[in-house]
Amino acid sequence: MKIWSVISLLCLCFTFQSCSIFKSTNATVNIEADEKANYSAPVQIEFIFITKQEIQNVVNSMSAQEWFTKREQFLRDNPNKDEVVSHYFEWIPGQKKKDIVLKGNGAIDAVVFVNYSKSSSANRGKVITGSNVTLKLRETKFEIITNE
């Protein structure tokens, strides 16, 4: 009788493991900055992982300039790491780093903001949770490439 209990438990574990609720929400990121990225000036980058729809709507409506102006208060107003996870970097032109693992804490959405100093664009992009991406910082814009 005990053997059937063990087999049933193993089957249940395998079923849940393949279920989407157990899918990793972390992201692995490579960041590459051109020598002339942001007109050769350091650039702020922030990855935001979100678990609540209400917060997702607010964050997805912001430009990078707006985010970096309001980020400190926003993070104070949303201190629960189960709802908003922030990964902040300041990147220097020419800098490259691979395999940065960003914890998603069960996120339903992930956004990256890149704060170019002389840009009026939104400079906001989507990052698929559970993915491996390369963020390429160019002189006046950025590119997100999903790696296989």
pLDDT at 8: 55
Average pLDDT, the chain: 88
What mean pLDDT is predicted for residues 102-131? 94
Average pLDDT over residues 24-32: 93
Closest CA to 134 of 145, 142, 148: 145
pTM metric for this prediction: 0.83
Residue 35 identity: E
pLDDT at 14 over 90: no
- pLDDT tens figures, 82-98: 899 999 999 999 999 99
Rounded distance, CA 56 to CA 48, Å?
10
* CATH 1.10.520.20 is held by the domain 24-146: no
Domain spans of the chain?
24-146
H-only helix segments in the chain: 2-18, 53-60, 64-77
